């Protein structure tokens, strides 16, 4: 079975890094030197898309598409969601505008989110640089919008974090596959609704919802 997931979020949130962390194939990316204000934040930026692939148990192949963070390339956002079954929104905890970032991507992908019946997960990166930061305000904001979306602190450079973010998204869609694909066991820092260890019932670091 072939499935498609889209990674979206602001510049530098870690979309390209996350896909590279978990892809079983060399990632196809469209990185170009950054210009303007983006250049102050990072040297290169995605201008069209990233593409990676992860193979799960039971022959499920998940195609991973990363969207460009810059709004001037937002025409790609609709193109990339075509045929997708879920959305991962990556957010950068260091950005003061994190709530506005979240709203921008929830609003921009609203039609797709409705189409996939709310199959969305949020990964918040760079929390290591803000040890006291909490994702509680994000969780409250999402709830205030009437949405029920799992939110996790993740490091996009860490394959285990990204894999579990993906599995959390897929858990409602393919419970058996997620159960078989998860190799984390008791070391898991996240929660998935189908976790065989019932980690869902336990408080886990950085997990909300
Ligand atoms: N300290 C820290 N760095 C992180 C974390 N996650 C990602 N990074 C770094 O943040 C940067 C993210 O860059 P990209 O992956 O290119 O970001 P992107 O979201 O694809 O950005 P655009 O393509 O420009 O929209 C990389 O240098 C990563 O190494 C994290 O949790 N902590
Ligand atoms: Mg990128």
**Could you tell me the fold of the domain covering 2-208?**
Rossmann fold (3.40.50)
Q: What is the pLDDT of residue 13?
A: 97
- From the list 190, 138, 182, 181, the residue with the least C-alpha distance to 161 is 190
Domain residues of the chain, as ranges? 2-208
Please state the atom number of ligand 1 nearest to the C-alpha of residue 68: 25
Which of the listed residues 17, 38, 89 should we mutate to test ligand 1's pocket, taking the one with most ligand atoms within 8 A of CB?
Answer: 17
Residue with tokens 């694909």: 181
* 8 A C-beta contact, residue 115 and residue 155: no
Q: Which residues line ligand 1 (CB under 6 A)?
A: 9, 11-17, 42, 45-46, 66, 68-69, 90, 125-126, 128-129, 155-157
Phi, psi of 109 (to 5 degrees): -105, 15
pTM surpassing 0.85?
yes
Strands annotated E in 37-161 = 44-55, 61-66, 86-92, 120-125, 151-153
For residue range 128-137, list pLDDT tens digits in order: 999 888 999 9
For residue range 84-111, list pLDDT tens digits in order: 999 999 999 999 999 999 999 999 999 9
């Amino acid at each position: 079975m072939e499935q498609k997931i889209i990674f979206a979020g602001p510049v530098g949130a870690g979309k390209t890094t996350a896909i590279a962390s978990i892809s079983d194939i060399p990632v196809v990316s469209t990185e170009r030197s950054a210009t303007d204000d983006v250049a102050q934040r990072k040297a290169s930026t995605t201008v069209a898309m990233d593409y990676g692939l992860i193979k799960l148990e039971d022959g499920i192949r998940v195609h991973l598409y990363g969207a460009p963070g810059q709004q001037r390339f937002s025409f790609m956002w609709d193109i990339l969601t075509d045929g997708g079954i879920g959305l991962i929104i990556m957010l950068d905890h260091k950005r003061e505008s994190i709530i506005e970032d979240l709203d921008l991507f929830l609003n921009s992908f609203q039609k797709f989110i409705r189409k996939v019946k709310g199959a969305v997960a949020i990964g918040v990166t760079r929390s290591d640089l803000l040890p006291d930061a909490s994702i509680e305000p994000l969780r409250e904001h999402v709830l205030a919008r009437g949405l029920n979306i799992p939110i996790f602190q993740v490091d996009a450079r860490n394959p285990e974090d990204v894999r579990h973010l993906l599995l959390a998204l897929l858990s409602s869609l393919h419970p058996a596959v997620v159960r078989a694909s998860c190799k984390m066991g008791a070391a898991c820092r996240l929660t998935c609704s189908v976790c065989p260890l019932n980690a869902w019932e336990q408080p886990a670091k950085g997990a909300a919802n």
